[in-house]
Structure 1
Amino acid sequence: MLSNTQLVHADRLLNQPQFGAVHESTNNSVLFEFADVADLEAVFQGKQAGHVYSRSSSGSAVALQNMLNALEGGVGSVTFATGMAAISALMFSLLKAGDHIVVSRYLFGNTRSFMQTLQNFAIDVSFVDVTDVKAVETSLKPETKLVFCESIANPVTQVSDLEHIASLCHSRSILFVIDNTMTPAPMLDAKALGASMVMTSLTKYIAGHGSVLGGALTDLGNFNWAAFANIDDKYKVQDTRQWGLTQIRKRGLRDMGATLAPAACHQIAIGMETLNMRLKQTCDNALIVARHLLSLPQVKKVYYPGLAEHPQHARAKHLFNHQFGGILSFELHETLDMRDFLNALKLIISATHLGDTRTLALPVATTIFHENGASQRAAMGIGDKLIRMSIGIEAFEDIVKDIDQALASL
């Protein structure tokens, strides 16, 4: 975790921008000139650091990657145009037909849809209850290459058994990747847990303002890539810690082309400066709002890891630095109309996003999980009238007041 001071000065100190600038400049050049063709050849062949074409790398991307890697304490980061692009690049770069992977059965709708797409490429996918390491262990096969889960599930907030899954994967030489979008580094020290990599949707808490898309993969240096059978010989660079990222850069970024634009890199880097402060305010607000909702007679159930009633409350307290995130979900009593409540909100915005400075709300089953169908939603604990809120940084009194006036209008 980087302190507020380190985050504010990370761009200036890690990247040393030209002309005394405190931010790395946005470089929009697609191509890069080499005075000596031998240097161009060396960069192409991975023998020398440099940029040859901005689809693969640029000064703007490297600057952001340096900051993200410092945030996670990793051995390297790769950025992508979106979080889903990062997940796609990870899977398509490192897996082959016949491989088996274990993923959370509580995965966010788009991620789950992608995992189902993987099955069309002869990759065996098991959807497992990742709150229980025994369920993960039972699902492992000789062909298992990777375990993937979210730290906190969206939207019902199940907390994965990260510590024990990491230990299990380490003992079996299986890659363990955590989607820590809901719990950025100030909340979760994934490296200390023993995770192999983290995937983050930069669109959410890292950038923070709902104004830019991005995703990233960071290798935490805990995995022995020499034990991973799917690394192509041409990507086995001298530093074995870089084998996975090298293959992801070549196959997942260069070949697939989901490049993060230089202007987006710059915007994300600026948003990242206030990550600690925004996240603390968000978590503080969310806990207050969750407790308030729990006290209301109109509310049937509240899902939030910060509540003592949550089934993984003790685990969340241990894993997440006594913070519980900014996402909560709840159900109103059957006599109340969910849509009427959402339409009555005045401050809180009905929109699909999370990790924003503003508080957002939406009906889950009919929007972001509509394609999953009733049976899959039931397996994930998603009821037809579930409402998800992403809590922002407004004064908590104003969030609570808006909820109360909306309920009163019913």
Structure 2
Amino acid sequence: MDKKMDTKKGFTTTILHSDRLLKPEFGALHQPVHTAVTWGYEDVNGLIDVFQNKTKGYAYSRQGNPTVAALEHKLTQMENGMSTVAFSTGMAAITATIVSLLKKDDHIIASSYLFGNSRSIMQTLSEIGVQISYVDATSVENIQKEHTSNTKMVFVETIANPATQIAQLDEIGNFCSENKIIYVVDNTMTSPYLFKPINVKASLVINSLTKYIGGHGNALGGSVTDTGLYDWAGFPNIAAILRGQIKPEMLGITQIRKRGLRDGGGTLSPEAAHSISVGAETLALRLERTSSNALLLANFLNEHLLVKKVNYPGLADHPQHKIASELFNGYGGLMSFELDDKIDAVTFLNRLKVVIKSSNLGDTRSLAIPVAKTIFHELGADRRKEMGIEDSLIRLSVGIEDINDLLEDFTHAFN
């Protein structure tokens, strides 16, 4: 388990002083970048104890590194969780979590609005025996209808990318808790600053660290955090060898670290971990500016005669505006919008000068992309229509630029 900071401290104060709890060498304020691949021991018994989980330590960097451990500690603090495992990407975290915990014929209920790559890995898993049901997660009733005796996991995102549907997070959490189902919440689009899934009884929290937490588009990373709410002692898929060695509350996250990280090999580099850790220090500041910019820009687009529709949780007419207002500490920087039929999306995007045409999210810079022709192209027209993705849909990740410059950029593009 990770050391806890004073819970009275604020979000940013906690992040800024997180590394100091681990007492870095020479009084450094950040954990240094440890590039070692392996560690030596004067007494081989020390190495044996690390391998057998009797003591904490490092043996081989594929499954643990002090710089990465410092980031994991920070992420645990941010999510008010119990323990975190970091990975090379968000997709590596998702894949490792499912593969390490589920077996053939186990059943997952997943949101039908999952991001394309998350949906793709679910499809791959279904081809090797994991059963997947996709439902409209904006209503818990749809999850209840698909629940069977072999349902082991429910997987949802806080805000769907790109059409911004919001799962009925609190009611789904109650249902999973009552039925002892692992509740996995991908918190990437909100981040731990805008929302803490532990508050809706999430078992595991996924974050793509590449996005808002790292925040600067300069490092890939992902993580899974155990909130401590799930009873792993009663979960049948825990490896027998772990039950006698690991505290019951640590069984799940330990199995993810060993089977998902160590065996899967999706290791986060120490250099990337350091970059993400430093970027995370300004998460609250960046998201406050991003959320403010996004709300103003969403209202601007929503009132424009050449825009048919705007998807943004901060707008009063968004179908899940109420739940977003109740659960989130702001509406974030992700939105999408449909242009009037007489405007070509590609031509429009090429007229934007401040907004960058790019596929990333959560950057300090505003980024836009035509969804149907790029990140959701492989799904095909029928599946895109089911997800509410029209051919003219543009996804926009709002950055921290001066709002007047963003408004002027869009005005110029429309003109």
TM-score by length of 1: 0.98
Q: Is the 8 A contact 2:14 2:77 kept in 1?
A: no
Match in the other structure for 1:271: 279
1:43 counterpart = 2:50:
yes
1:237-252 to 2 correspondences below 5 Å:
237-252=245-260
Secondary structure of 2:259's counterpart equals helix
d(CA) in 1 for partners of 2:65, 2:247: 22
d(CA) in 2 for partners of 1:161, 1:180: 14
Please list the CA deviations of residues 356-391 of structure 1 after superposition, one character each: whole Å capped at 9, or x if unmatched: 000000000110001111111111111111000000
1:347-362 to 2 correspondences below 5 Å:
347-362=354-369
1:19 counterpart = 2:30:
no
Match in the other structure for 1:299: 307
Give the drift of 1:251: 0.5
* Percent identity (aligned): 48
Q: Is the 8 A contact 2:215 2:362 kept in 1?
A: yes
Q: Is the 8 A contact 2:101 2:237 kept in 1?
A: yes
Secondary structure of 2:194's counterpart equals coil
Match in the other structure for 2:3: none
Secondary structure of 2:109's counterpart equals strand
Secondary structure of 2:271's counterpart equals helix
Match of 1:95 among 84, 102, 105: 102
d(CA) in 2 for partners of 1:189, 1:5: 17
Secondary structure of 1:46's counterpart equals coil
d(CA) in 2 for partners of 1:193, 1:318: 12
Gap regions ≥5 residues in structure 2:
1-6
1:116-155 to 2 correspondences below 5 Å:
116-155=123-162
1:69 counterpart = 2:70:
no
d(CA) in 1 for partners of 2:272, 2:84: 16
Match of 2:262 among 254, 261, 264: 254
d(CA) in 2 for partners of 1:167, 1:308: 26
Match in the other structure for 2:291: 283
Q: Report the residue type matching 2:321 in the other structure.
A: H
Q: Report the residue type matching 1:335 in the other structure.
A: K
1:10-409 to 2 correspondences below 5 Å:
10-11=18-19, 13-236=20-243, 237-321=245-329, 323-408=330-415
d(CA) in 2 for partners of 1:380, 1:228: 33
Q: Is the 8 A contact 1:27 1:262 kept in 2?
A: yes
Give the drift of 1:289: 0.3
TM-score by length of 2: 0.97
Secondary structure of 1:186's counterpart equals helix
Q: Report the residue type matching 1:82 in the other structure.
A: T
d(CA) in 2 for partners of 1:139, 1:202: 31
Q: Is the 8 A contact 1:103 1:148 kept in 2?
A: yes
Q: Is the 8 A contact 1:14 1:67 kept in 2?
A: no
Give the drift of 1:53: 0.2
Q: How many residues align?
A: 406
Give the drift of 1:253: 0.5
Range with bigger deviation, 258-267 or 232-241? 232-241
Range with bigger deviation, 169-178 or 41-50? 41-50
d(CA) in 2 for partners of 1:9, 1:226: 33
Cα RMSD, aligned residues only: 0.9
Give the drift of 1:39: 1.1
Give the drift of 1:60: 0.8
Secondary structure of 2:16's counterpart equals helix
Give the drift of 1:3: 2.2
d(CA) in 1 for partners of 2:323, 2:391: 28
Please list the CA deviations of residues 263-304 of structure 1 after superposition, one character each: whole Å capped at 9, or x if unmatched: 111101000000000011101110000000011101111000
d(CA) in 2 for partners of 1:29, 1:187: 35
d(CA) in 2 for partners of 1:189, 1:207: 17
Secondary structure of 2:193's counterpart equals coil
Q: Is the 8 A contact 1:345 1:406 kept in 2?
A: yes
Please list the CA deviations of residues 104-153 of structure 1 after superposition, one character each: whole Å capped at 9, or x if unmatched: 10000111111100111100000110000000110111110000010000
Q: Report the residue type matching 1:370 in the other structure.
A: H
Q: Is the 8 A contact 1:360 1:389 kept in 2?
A: yes
Gap regions ≥5 residues in structure 1:
none
Give the drift of 1:5: 2.2
Q: Is the 8 A contact 1:107 1:150 kept in 2?
A: yes
Q: Report the residue type matching 2:252 in the other structure.
A: G
Secondary structure of 2:395's counterpart equals strand
Give the drift of 1:47: 1.2
Secondary structure of 1:185's counterpart equals helix
Please list the CA deviations of residues 307-364 of structure 1 after superposition, one character each: whole Å capped at 9, or x if unmatched: 001000001000102x111000001110111111000001100000000000000000
Match of 1:6 among 14, 17, 35: 14
Secondary structure of 1:247's counterpart equals helix
Secondary structure of 1:357's counterpart equals coil
Q: Is the 8 A contact 2:53 2:246 kept in 1?
A: no
Give the drift of 1:238: 3.8
